[in-house]
Copies of this chain bind each other. A is one copy, B any other.
Amino acid sequence: MNRTAPTTRATVRRQSARARYDQAAIDAILDEGLVAHVGFVSEGQPYVIPMAYARDGDRLLLHGSSASRLLTTLATGAAVCATITLLDGLVVARSVFNHSMNYRSVVIFGRARALQETDEKRSGLKRITEHLVQGRWNDARQPSETELSATSVMSLPLEEVSVKIRGGPPVDAPADYASSSWAGVIPIQTVFEAPLPDPKLGPSVAAPVGVTSYHRPTKRT
Contacts and interface: CB of A to CB of B under 8 A. Distances in A.
Contact of A133 (B47, B79, B99, B193): B99
A5 B69 CA distance: 20
Interface string A185-211: 111111111111111111001111001
Interface string A106-145: 0101000000000000000100010011001101111110
Contacts of A144: 97
Q: How large is the interface on A (under 10, 10 to 19, 20 to 34, 35 or more residues)?
A: 35 or more
Contacts of A4: none
Contact of A69 (B13, B79, B93, B136): B13
A94 interface: yes
Given A48-B38, A90-B133, A197 B183 contact: yes
B195 A184 contact: yes
A25 interface: no
Given A183-B197, A193-B189, A79 B45 contact: yes
